[in-house]
A and B are shown apart, each in its own frame.
Chain A
Amino acid sequence: MKKFLSLVIFVTLTFKLQAQEMRVKGVVFDTSGTKPLPNTGVMAVRIKDSVLLRHTRTNINGEFSLTGFQVDTFTLYVEHPEYDTKTFFIFGSKSNSEIDIPKISLSGKSKQLKEVIVYANKNPIYFKGDTLVYVADSFKVGENAVVEDLLKKLPGIKVDENGTITSQGKQINQVLVDGDEFFGTDPTIATRNLGAKGVESVQIYEKEKENAKAGEEDKIQVLDLKLKEDAKKGYFGKFSAATDFGLFQDNPFYETEILANKFEGKQKISIFLLGSNTPKSNFKWGDMNKFGLENERNNSGMSNWNQGNTNNTSGIPRTVKAGIYYTDKIGKTGKIGFNYAYYDTRLDVASSSFSQYFLPDTTFFTKDSSNNKSTNTSHRINMNFSMNIDSLTFFELKPNVNFDEAVADNTSISEFIDSLQIRSLRSDIKNKDESLGITSNSEALLRRKFKRPKRELELKYILNYSKNRTTGQLLNAAQFDLVGSPDTTFRQDKTNENGSTNHYTLLTYTEPITERIKIQVEYLYEFGDQLQDKRTYDLDVNSGLYTSENTLFSNNFDNIRQQNRGTILGIYEDRKHTLIGGIGFRNIDITNRNLITDSVTPQNISNYLPQFSYQFKPSISKRFGFFYTTNSQQPSVSDLQPVRDNSNPNRMQEGNPDLKPNYVHNVRMNFNTWSALTGRYIWSGFNASLTNNAFANSTSFDSYGRTISRTENVDGNIFSNLFAGFGLPLFNRKFEINPNVNASYMRYTNIINDQENITQNRSISGGTEFELKLDSLQISVGGDYSYTSPVSSLASASNTPFVTQTYKVDFEWQLPANFKIKADAKYVINSQRTAGFNRNIFVVNTELSRSFLKTENLIITLSGNDLLNQNLNLQRQINGNIVTDNFTKIISRYFLLRLTYKFNRNKTKEEEWKGWY
């Protein structure tokens, strides 16, 4: 009893009719009851919900006065670190709102009390031990409801719009399916993809957290979905078909797409099919992500920054792509994947071009028209396997093999015209090639971390293997218009067998020296063997077969290289700065062996490969970087092999076994800033490279203008580019202006009739885009202007600048009743080119679509591409002293009526992939 000091205050209970403030005052003393205790904490806590009503401290005389809260029933705590806390229960009322406790003496310590928690048991919700169990069938949900809909019906469980689940106010940390994690850690994959009908019971319990750290609650709350036997699976997909029903031409245009994903437990299978004879040759970026078609995505040429469809625009295509992806988990950390894809792409290219050859003493012209039909068939098999051997060691294996078959059929007519505009030669060439090949790019990786943070050892092995056999036939008919030259015709059969094997082994070790400084050492060993056997056969008069080897165009060649490279890097990193500097030394030993003559061209080259980079990040939205790197590339075996390639007898190529690897210095700078609140941004940068021992064409012209080229090393090729742009949002971000500028300078050398020709290209371009973004309407309008001035040292006649102007409009409008209109237009003005190639092109595309069904999963679209039928592929290429204007026939106007149906197991709206932020 001594422990307790009690003080009783009488209270009259009346019902409060109006709010009234409490006033509590008192004086706090130590145990002796004589010494006032200053700074003692006094707080009022409402009894019914433990809410803190008011708190204060005693003054120097131990006095306190607590007011400013309504009349209530509350606990008054008087707390001092050196004494026991004293607690008063106060039943305040209108007539008992002023309480004075004149003497509060604090005393010694007592024991803490324990908690008792009581749960209620109810059907169909009950406790099984510590587990709260909901019997799913007892809660009514819609026909196609998903687990999330079921959870929303369960008493005590709340699901917010992000899919976060709370049970009795406590967040669920993990969603399990039959005691196991579903797809990864995101709970919504389970709750939004599994049907509610498949759930037998929902169980909520606490689980010990694996590897909990100090200061963290070591228990997590788990929601475990116990499924009925037949329910551990789901699917989603998309089907789309479009055609013009052959209304406008004999061959109807079509596009078909099927994408589907099925999951069962941890196993996931995706299938895909694409068939088209329009420029659409890829899936949409979002679909490739949604269905996990990683290889298709990586091969598409698209990226996060450029998700536009990289359509086929170089002829009349026909595409079939189909395949299957399979992934599963083995054990705790093992992942296994397999995918197979079949590609069948055909392309018919009919093109014509006009080229001007500027030589110091004369000028040639050629008119070419060609028709090229090609078919490529390939089977691609990718596998991957990865696992954490232990908590510090990671292992990954990625084998790949492709089988390719190609058939190409090419007919071309070339006319050579001299400076007096008189035709001197007409040549008709037919090539027919068939090839069969196998390639493999496989990788193995072992990464080991250590107890010491940032210390790391990585071993990587890459195998690149290829083997290819091509057989072909060449027919050439040359008609000489000048007197004294008889017309010639010949036919040859050709074979080309090439094989290459490259092994790369890369060992990297990173050692932290201090908190901010690391040293990285890397060692690369490469062994490569490239073999190419090219044979050309003329007619054997005796047998009538094409078996007589033509030694001028036949050769067997072997290129063996062995590279050893060591690199050491110092890395400094802190919050704002990253500084990396280092140097590599490499030695490459090359043996070029001509197996026909058994002559050897050995090369042994040693280089230093320095690198340096500095990045400055004053804040997360502002960064500057400077990068300097050096690298070296090997010439291809066709550049090396000392044999002539006459597949185009008018433009022969010849290899050069003395060709050395090139050496490139790269400098890159960038500066970007972004303001999150206003949305303003600036991006700018500069790239430059200087290449020594660059691979350049050395071309000799004969009197008709026919050429023989070989690759030589030249020094001093420069490429540089400067770019900048900014974004300026206005009117609360509903409107945005995005101007940009770009300037580039190129300098490169080629060799014409043994004379050096230096070409310098200067080009400048600029443009602006205006964007209007409203809730249902989005419009963007933009224009670009580009000016290019080529200057060639040998022939000033080719130095004609040219201009391209582009104007674009994009429009998207979401209408009522699920209608949507999209349109875009592009107008290109080409000027100062060869007569006939200064065409202005105006392309307009539109699309009207409407979605049906409650889920909006059925969409019917009518689209018209290139309504004005103007689309052309027109390009000007400047290559040393040659200016070529090229025109390729491509698909112009076509209409499609498209039906798209999206589906999933739960018959809900199938959302499109939303992209990154």
Chain B
Amino acid sequence: MERMVLKSKKLMKVFVIFIFLVSCFQVASQHHVFGKITFERRTNLEKRYTDQRMKRMINENNKIRNESFTFYFNDTASAFIPLQDNNPSEVSWMTSKNAYYQNLSEIKQLTVLSLFGQFLYIEDSLPQRSWKITENTRNIAGYDCRKAIYQKNDSTRIYAWYSTSLVPSVGPEGFCGLPGTILGVATEDGGIIYFAKKVEFIQPKKEELQANIGKNKVLTIKELKADIEKKFGSQPWGRRMFDDLFRWL
């Protein structure tokens, strides 16, 4: 169990609730409710792809991909937007470039999936994930963050680091639901890592927090999955492609 250190005998009474101080962090000294965060994502393609045929395209020189994202947030909304890739390579297509718009007051999330250059708009309620809180902390971009773990399934665990100094319960790549803004996300094997590189306290403009859907159709995840199951159900490569698309959803 979480390390309980009992320092006082008088607290050992049965049927009692104890309080004590466990730990503390050194933190920036203010609470913030809005800002702009630059995230960097580092993907190790070698870890990311287990398929041997994909691995043949991956070599020592291109296996690590670094990509950047901008994250705008205020107390009710956030937007996570991929930045232009200025360092394209023949394996650029192997990483996802999805955008997310979280709305805390309506408890909704709009996801813009980029599927080989085509955009799919998905609106659903904010994801409800079961987080495990740990006592591990690390400093990301000047903010002390607590590590939480999300057990996606039997074999996938995702780490997220959040800071209570940033009040809104939002985060990158559609992650949210922790008692503070998420500044770091990583798969357990370190194959994909998102870290905040820069945190600026700029009030985001209204249009920066809203997706331009245009006349495109907006689906729910369920509808999209059903659509894909219909179209690609019998094709193993199609299923693989979309499994990957939903890796975070």
A623 nearest in chain B by CB position: B117
A848 CB to closest chain B CB (Å) equals 24
Contact A188 B42 (CB under 8 A): no
Query: Contacts A4-B8, A733-B231, A733-B235 known; A158 to B155 CB distance under 8 Å?
Result: yes
**8 Å CB contacts to A: which residues of B203-221?**
none
Give Cα A763 to B47, complex, Å: 51
Q: Contacts A75-B2, A81-B28 given: A166-B155 contact, CB under 8 Å?
A: yes
Are B189 and A86 within 8 A (Cβ)?
no
B200 in the interface, Cβ–Cβ < 8 Å? Answer: no
Q: Check B132–A6 contact: CB distance below 8 A.
A: no
Instruction: Write out the residue numbers on chain A whose beta carbons fall within 8 Å of the beta carbon of B233.
Output: 732
Q: Does any Cβ of B come within 8 Å of A51's Cβ? A: yes
Instruction: Mark out the residues of chain B between 31 and 74 whose CB falls within 8 Å of any chain A CB in the assembled complex.
Output: 31, 33, 42, 46-47, 50-53, 55, 64
Q: Is B167 an interface residue (CB 8 A)?
A: yes
CB atoms of A84 and B120 under 8 A apart: no
CA distance A522 to B88 in the complex (A): 24
Residue of A nearest to B88 (CB): A575
CA distance A38 to B167 in the complex (A): 11
| Residue of chain B at shortest CB distance from A618 | B117
Residue among B3, B64, B164, B193 making CB contact with A41, cutoff 8 Å: B164
Task: List, in ascending order, chain B residues with CB within 8 A of A90's CB.
Answer: 17
Contact with A along B10-42 (1 / 0, CB 8 A): 010101111111111101111101000000001
Cross-chain contact B118 with A55 (CB below 8 angstroms): no
Q: Does A246 contact B (CB under 8 A)?
A: no
Quick one: given A50-B133, A676-B116, are A87 and B235 in contact (CB under 8 Å)? Answer: no
Q: Which residues of A contact B179 (CB under 8 A)?
A: 41-43, 52, 55-57, 79
Encode A36-53 as 1/0 by CB contact (under 8 A) with B. 001101110101111110
B20 touches A109 (CB 8 A): no
- Cα–Cα, bound, A122→B133 (Å): 30
In the complex, chain B residues whose CB is within 8 Å of the CB of A173: 47, 189
Question: Given the complex of chains A and B, what is the CA–CA distance between A399 and B235 in angstroms?
Answer: 43
Q: How far is the CB of B52 from chain A (nearest CB, A)?
A: 5
Which A54-97 residues sit within 8 Å CB-CB of chain B?
55-57, 75, 77, 79-91
Q: In the bound complex, do residue B31 and residue A39 qualify as a contact, i.e. CB atoms below 8 Å apart?
A: yes
Question: When the two chains form their complex, are residues A162 and B157 in contact, meaning their CB atoms are under 8 A apart?
Answer: no
Say whether A515 contacts B86, CB under 8 Å: yes
Q: Which residue of A lies closest to B229 (CB)?
A: A732
Q: In the bound complex, do residue A5 and residue B130 qualify as a contact, i.e. CB atoms below 8 Å apart?
A: no
With A171-B188, A917-B237 known to touch, is A8 a contact of B51 (CB < 8 Å)?
A: no
A169 touches B157 (CB 8 A): yes
In the assembled complex, B93 has its CB within 8 A of some CB on chain A? yes
Say whether A702 faces chain B, with CB atoms less than 8 Å apart.
no
Q: How far is the CA of A234 from the CA of B161 in the complex (A)?
A: 46
List chain A residues, Cβ under 8 A from B17: 7-9, 11, 88-91
Q: Within 8 Å of chain B (Cβ to Cβ): is A13?
A: yes
A622 to chain B, nearest CB (A): 6
Residue of A nearest to B7 (CB): A4
Determine if A216 and B235 form an interchain contact, defined as CB atoms under 8 angstroms apart. no
Residues in A neighbouring B24, C-beta threshold 8 A: 83-85, 108-110, 112
B76 to chain A, nearest CB (A): 13
Given contacts A43-B179, A166-B155, contact A621 B165 (CB under 8 A): no
Across the interface, name the chain A residue whose C-beta is closest to B120. Answer: A677
Residue of B nearest to A221 (CB): B189
- Taking the closest CB of chain A, its distance from the CB of B51, in whole angstroms, is 7
Asked if residues A79 and B231 are in contact (CB atoms below 8 Å), the reply is no
The winner among B29, B179, B227, B228 for most chain A CB atoms within 10 A is B179
Contact B118 A215 (CB under 8 A): no
Check B116 against A619 for contact (C-beta < 8 Å): yes
Q: Which residues of B contact A676 (CB under 8 A)?
A: 115-116, 118, 241
In the assembled complex, A773 has its CB within 8 A of some CB on chain B: yes
Nearest A-chain residue to B130, judged by Cβ: A51
A542 in the interface (beta carbon within 8 A): no
Asked whether any CB of chain B lies closer than 8 Å to the CB of A620, the reply is yes
Contact indicator B21/A3 (Cβ below 8 Å): yes
> Is B106 part of the binding interface, using a Cβ–Cβ cutoff of 8 Å?
no
Do residues B52 and A6 form an inter-chain contact, with CB atoms below 8 A?
no
B3 touches A11 (CB 8 A): no
| A77→B144 CA distance, assembly (Å) | 16
Q: Which of B149-199 contact A (CB under 8 A)?
A: 151, 154-155, 157, 164-165, 167, 169, 177-180, 186, 188-190, 193, 195
Q: How long is the Cα–Cα vector from A132 to B186 in the complex, in angstroms?
A: 25
A188: chain B residues at CB < 8 Å are 50, 52
CB 8 Å contact bits of A144-168 with B (1 = contact, 0 = none):
0000000000000010101110100
Indicate whether B105 reaches chain A with its CB closer than 8 angstroms: no
Task: Report if A853 contacts B (CB, 8 A).
Answer: no
Q: Check B23 against A82 for contact (C-beta < 8 Å).
A: no
For A216, list chain B residues within 8 Å (CB). 42, 190, 193
Specify which chain A residues have a CB less than 8 angstroms from the CB of B27 in the assembled complex.
Answer: 81-82
Q: Is the CB of B3 within 8 A of A622?
A: no
Is the Cβ of A81 less than 8 Å from the Cβ of B1?
Answer: no
Are the CB atoms of B3 and A55 closer together than 8 Å?
A: no
Known: A4-B20, A84-B21, A732-B230. A675 touches B31 (CB 8 A): no
B residues in contact with A82, CB < 8 Å: 27, 29
A185 at the interface (CB under 8 A from B): yes
A80 neighbours in B (Cβ, 8 Å): 164
Chain A residues with Cβ under 8 A from B126's Cβ?
A: none
A158→B227 CA distance, assembly (Å)? 31
Shortest CB distance B44–A (Å): 8
Given A41-B179, A82-B29, A110-B21, A185 and B55 touching (CB < 8 A)? Answer: yes
Contact with A along B141-153 (1 / 0, CB 8 A): 0001000100100
Which residue of chain B has the shortest Cβ distance to A729 in the bound complex?
A: B231
| Other-chain contact of B86, A110, A574, A675 (Cβ < 8 Å) | A574
Q: Is the CB of A87 within 8 A of B154?
A: no
The docked-state distance in angstroms from the alpha carbon of A184 to that of B29 is 50
* B47 CB → nearest A CB, Å: 7
A17 at the interface (CB under 8 A from B): no
Q: Is the Cβ of A11 less than 8 Å from the Cβ of B16?
A: yes
Chain A 162-193 interface residues, beta-carbon cutoff 8 Å to B: 162-164, 166, 169-171, 173, 184-186, 188-189
- Give Cα A115–Cα B5 distance, bound, in whole angstroms: 11
Cα–Cα, bound, A678→B232 (Å): 10
| B53 engages A185 (CB within 8 Å) | no
Contact with B along A3-39 (1 / 0, CB 8 A): 1111111111100000000000000000000000011
18 A-B interface contacts by CB (under 8 A): A12-B15, A41-B179, A42-B179, A48-B1, A50-B2, A81-B27, A87-B21, A113-B5, A162-B50, A162-B51, A186-B52, A186-B55, A575-B84, A575-B85, A621-B118, A729-B231, A732-B231, A916-B53
Given contacts A47-B2, A220-B189, A677-B231, 10 further A-B contacts (CB under 8 A): A4-B20, A6-B20, A50-B133, A91-B17, A110-B22, A162-B50, A170-B157, A186-B55, A732-B233, A733-B231
Can you list the 3 inter-chain pairs with the closest CB atoms, starting with the nearest? A619-B117, A81-B27, A55-B179
Interface residues of A (CB under 8 A from B): 1, 3-13, 38-39, 41-43, 45, 47-52, 55-57, 75, 77, 79-91, 107-113, 115-116, 158, 160, 162-164, 166, 169-171, 173, 184-186, 188-189, 213, 215-217, 220, 515-516, 573-575, 618-622, 674-679, 729, 732-734, 773-775, 914, 916-917
Chain B residues with a Cβ under 8 A of chain A: 1-5, 7-8, 11, 13, 15-25, 27-31, 33, 42, 46-47, 50-53, 55, 64, 84-86, 88, 92-93, 114-118, 120, 130-135, 137, 144, 148, 151, 154-155, 157, 164-165, 167, 169, 177-180, 186, 188-190, 193, 195, 227-228, 230-235, 237, 241
